[in-house]
Each structure stands twice: as C-alpha cells, then as structure tokens.
Structure 1
Amino acid sequence: MMRTNNIGILAIQETHLTQELVDTLHETFQKSLVIKWSSDPNNTNSKGVAIILNKGLTRWNETEEIELVKGRAMMMTIKWHQEKKLHVLCVYAPNDPNENGDFWKKIDQELREKNLPSPDVMLGDFNMVEDSIDRLKTRNDPVYCTEALRELKRTHHLADGWRRTNGGDKGYTFYQKATKAHSRIDRIYVAENRLASTYEWEIEEAPIQTDHKVVKMTICDPDTPYIGPGRWTLPLPLLKEKELVKKLYEIGMEAQGEMERVKMNRTDERNPQTVLRNFKTSVQECVKGYNKQKMKKINGAIEKLKKDLEDTINDETQDEDRRKEAAAETD
C-alpha cells in the first residue's frame, strides 16, 4: 500500500505489536519500511499505536519519538525539507467517554510538561466525533469528551482538514456491523498554519480486511519548488488491447516506410530524426485518444454510482435505513 500509493508516513492503531513481531517485520521489509511503535507493556493484546515510514520518501533515520500515553499516543518529530521538522502525533483514544475526555487532557498535559511543540499533524482513531453529522444514525457524543478534544484543538491550533475541505458533506470511516452504524471516528487534524499546504483529502477502502477505512491527505512545504509531472509513458496494460496494438502497428509500418523514403531524398525538414519525432507524436496521440475514450466510459459508470450513493447518504429526506444501506455499499 505505501509503495503503490506513494505514502510517506502511515499511522495505524490497535496494533498489538511486540518487539519480536516488529523485528520480524523489519527483517522482511528492511529495504522499504521502518516501524516506530508504542504499546502498553501490561497488556500487549490491546491498544498499540505505530507510525510506519517509507524509506524511499522520508528521512527515516532522523526521527525522534516520545510516548505521551503508552499504547495510546506517540509523538514523532521527523526531519523534513532542509532543516525543517514535521511533528506528527498518532493517537488511539479510549472508547469510554469519560476516559476519552481524560485522554485529550492527558495529551495536553504531557505536551506542556515535556515542553514539546504543538503537533503539525494529529491523526488516528478518535473513537468519538465532534458533531452529529459524522454519525449515521445521527447523534451527539457526550459533551465531556467533545469539549476536551475541542480545548486541545484550540490550544494547539488544530483543524479537521477533511471537514474543512468537504464542508457539510457526509463521509464515514468506520462501520459497525452489529448495529449497522457508520461514523467518521478516524480523522486527521492539521495545524491551522499548514492547512493551506494540504490537499488530496480522501477517505478510501483499506487494502486489507478491516471495518475501518483509510483517511489520506498530502502535506507539502509551501517553500518547495513546483515539480512537473515528468515524461509521458505508455500505460503498459494498454498493450493488451488488440485494437490499439493494431493501430500502433499501422503507425509503425508507415514510419518505417517513410524512413526508407527519406534515405533517397533527405532534407532539413524530412529526415530520419523528423520521422522518429513524428512517429512518437503519432503513437502518443493515438494512445491518449484510445485511453481517453475507454476510461471515459468506465469512469462515467463509476462516478454515477458514487454520486447516487453520496446523494442518498446526504439526502436527509430519505429513510434512515435506506441511507444506512447506501453507506454500507461504500464499505
């Protein structure tokens, strides 16, 4: 998942990790990943948080980690661009509302007492929502835990990036099969002064069997220079399309014939170099046109299904059971 989706930092919760298991994972993925983790030594069969770093995309060997709450909260400071640092707080909040509220107060206390910087990113499983819009069936969570989290946010100037980006839309990250309830308990908060440098906020399916979805976003250094998309390449799966291959063959045969003809009458405008250039241009235009038509049909069907589901989820005039069924179809 991290390699195919270009994920640099992945935070996971309820990990149940042990040193033996982490050593095995490091040995298996020694070239690509490094795992920083925290568990409750008195109960390794519950709780647990971890931050996994992609060695190809991060300065993974220049990090500092501090446990704020064993198995529940871990702060990582990682070198970013030049001498800049990124402070990432991974959390896994308790289910019990009173313990949940105490948890946010404990984090604020630990940050103050240990003289730690405010997190640039706070992410994980919050086991509560701030507003009823993030639950289906809609309901408010206990005031004690919601106010404790809001106070932590106010103190450290954190914002819910997905909600800021999507306004009043509904999106859910957790599905409880027993009650068929949906909620957005998995969230990413970003420092207000970095929010403008985030984009591609998404909720998507996890690549493994789980009742949680993945929340993703991209954060960049506003001082980083723009880098273009790079050189165009032919999508390899298209080489299995017989109709397209036939067209490319015809373009190639035409170019080959033209190459033979310019040998007898070479000019500045008509020579092997211009033939090759025109051949590559023709191939690119042919592939792009074919792919556009093919993907237009597929994406059109997918987008229509997504739109129908989103409309149903957000239509409060619909029967709540129908909205639940629609939300379940996105899981």
Structure 2
Amino acid sequence: MREKKIGILCLQEMHLTEEHENQINTLYSRRLRVINSRDRECPGSLAGVAFELAVLNIYTPNNPAEHHNFWTTIKDSETSRNNQQIDLLLGDFNLTEDPLDRAPTRTDNEAATDALRDLRETLNVHDSWRKTHPTSPCTSAIPTDHHMILVRYTPLNMPHIGKGRWSWPLGLVNNEKLLNKMSKLGQMTQRKIETNQQPGGLNPQSEWEDFKIKIRQEAKKTSKEHMYKINTRINQLENDIKLTLRNDDIDTNSNTRSQKAWLESEINHMEKKTIQEPSASIKSEMECRQGKPLASTGVR
C-alpha cells in the first residue's frame, strides 16, 4: 500500500479470523486499520471482505441462482439507510454486465445482471472502465480474474498533497553496487574525521551531514537507473498486451488468452523487483509484541 500509495484497499475472500484481524491491526496500528466482515456461522472459511469514504465492498456468492436475491437485498438495504451517498461500489461480483469483459465473450445470467444494473443506477454509480473504454476488451477469465485494480479517487474539495519526504527505496536495500559506494564514502568520511581531530579542524557533524547528502544522491541516481530499466520493460509488456487484445481470436483461442496472462504475470514480476518484502522482520516484530509465534495468516 505504501509503494502504490493506496489509501483504501478493498479485498475479498480474505478468510480472516478475529485473531488474525487483531494481529494485523496490532502490527500496523500506526498506519493501517482493517475492517473485516466475516461469515457468522463459519468465520474465516468463507467469503469475507476487508477494507470516511463511503465504500461498498462486495463479494457475491458463486452460485448464479443466488445473485438476483443478493443484489436486490443490497439495494433494499442501501435504500432504507438513505443517509449517505455511496462513493465507490466494488468487489468480486462473479458476473459482468458487458460481454466484452468475458473471454470468450458471453452474456451472464440476465436476471442477475439486471439486478446489478438496477442497484448501480439506484446508487448513481457507473462502470468507470467501460465508460472510459467503451469498446476495449477487459477480459477477466484468462485464466484468472484475481488482479488488483487501481482507481484514483479525487474529490473536488480535496486539499493539495505534495510528494512528501523522500525515503530510501526498499528495492535498493540489497543493491551490492550501491552498498559498495556507500561503504567507500563512509570509510572516506571516517578517515577525514579521524585525521582532523585537532582544535580548529573539521567539524565531525558537518562531515556526517555531507556523508548523508552524498549517499542520498547516490541512492537517487541508482534508483533512477534501476527504475528506468524496469519501467521500460513494463511499457514493452503493456504494449504487447494491447497488441494481443487486438487479435481476432482473443475470444476463441486459448493460446492467445494464455499469452496475455503470461504477459500480465511478467508485469507483476517486474513490479515486485521494486519492492523488498521484509517478511522476516515483520514476523519477528509481531512475535516480540505478542510473545508467541505469528499465526498462519497469509500476511507477509
């Protein structure tokens, strides 16, 4: 969430128990708050959604026969509240309104689709993707639809927020080339301080400040080079995806759809190169706080 600058993250099928939820909230208490709804009869094993913006985060039953009543119930519930306009409607709907969102293209259950459209119109929300790209395919079955979708929400009265303070990119923590430069700069600074300790000599605090400025400059330079290569590769892969979607057989040829899925996995792989996940340190911190091993939550 920090790397992607995500303010609100809505997830489905989290399978969180109350213990897991409390562990996450304890670990990230200063930066993150988890709000989770779970199945009352079987907590942690079935559908659950976890995220003041009015967000309606939905996980729809897998059984299409239940969809119409599900959407109708939500509509009645939201209509009866009648106290706050929904800003965002999102989640895993297990159906699509537009056949273009399926590969191969097909129409979902008509009663369920009508019920979803009726709810959407009642809440006065629209399909942002389809409105922006009315004719572009957004296939969700090639072979998995479990992709993170990013949306930027910008209210008109939102105050200006700057870039914030620069921080060391996690992806460079183990960069050997950069670490060697830092080591040499540190050794040079230490020698200068040790050889100028007489009165009127160099100010150690000034040398220390100069050292920090230099390693920050080196980190920014290395990060720029590192990110340029990654972003160039990502742009190439995204262009390949656009070309793949233009193929006439995207709806019928499994190889073409598999090619798109592979390109997407390559993009995910490249993006992960920019982030180092400190899973070991997080687990250690959690164990120290609670005095016991971290439960198997799937959180890294």
**What is the TM-score with the length of structure 2 in the denominator?**
0.64
| Contact 2:100 2:139 (C-alpha < 8 Å) held by counterparts | no
| Alpha-carbon distance, 1:300 to partner | 2.6
TM-score, normalization by structure 1: 0.59
1:195 is aligned to none
Show the counterpart of 2:290. Answer: none
Partner Cα distance (1:45, 1:237) in 2: 33
Write the distance in 2 (CA, Å) between the matches of 1:103 and 1:167.
27
Would you say the 8 A contact 1:13–1:47 is kept in 2?
Answer: no
Q: Structure 1 unaligned runs (5+)?
A: 53-79, 81-85, 184-211
Q: CA RMSD in A?
A: 4.1
**Any conservation in 2 of the 1:97–1:142 contact (CA below 8 Å)?**
yes
Aligned partners of 1:38 and 1:50 also within 8 Å: yes
Note if 1:138 corresponds to 2:105.
yes
Change over 3 Å in CA distance of 1:22–1:238 after alignment to 2: closer
Shift of 1:106: 2.8
- Using the aligned pairs only, state the percent identity: 30
**Would you tell me which structure has more strand in proportion to its own residues?**
1
Which position in structure 1 is the counterpart of 2:279?
A: none
* Residue 125 (structure 1) aligns with: 92
Instruction: Considering fraction of residues, name the structure with more helix.
Output: 2
From the superposition, tell whether residues 166 and 293 of structure 1 become closer, same or farther in structure 2 (CA, over 3 Å).
Answer: farther
Confirm or deny: 8 A CA contact 1:88 1:121 kept in the other structure. yes
Quickly say closer, same or farther: Cα 1:282–1:132, change in 2 above 3 A.
same
Is 1:91–2:86 an aligned residue pair? no
Quote the residue 1:324 is aligned against.
257
Q: Does 1:287 find its partner at 2:219?
A: yes
1:238 alignment counterpart: 172
Distance 1:327 1:116, change over 3 A: farther
Residue ranges of structure 2 left out of the alignment (5+ in a row) = 266-300
Query: 2: distance between equivalents of 1:323 and 1:94?
Result: 29
Q: Give the equivalent residue in structure 2 for 1:200.
A: none
Query: Structure 1 residues 213, 174: closer, same or farther in 2, change over 3 A?
Result: farther
The code of the aligned residue for 1:103 comes to F
Does 2:127 correspond to 1:151?
A: no
> Does the aligned pair in 2 maintain the 1:14–1:49 contact within 8 Å?
yes
Tell me by how many angstroms 1:38 deviates: 4.6
Deviation at 1:130, TM superposition (A): 1.1
Counterpart position of 2:50? 51
* Deviations, residues 10-47 of structure 1 (Å, cap 9, x unaligned): 444456x6xxx733224433414544315364x77986
For this pair of structures, how many residues does the alignment match? 257
Tell me which of 148, 151, 157 is aligned to 1:217. 151
- Note closer, same or farther for the CA distance 1:248–1:9 as it changes in structure 2 (3 Å cut): closer
Matches within 5 A, 1:159-198: 159-164=126-131, 168-173=135-140, 180=143
Q: Which amino acid aligns with 2:157?
A: D
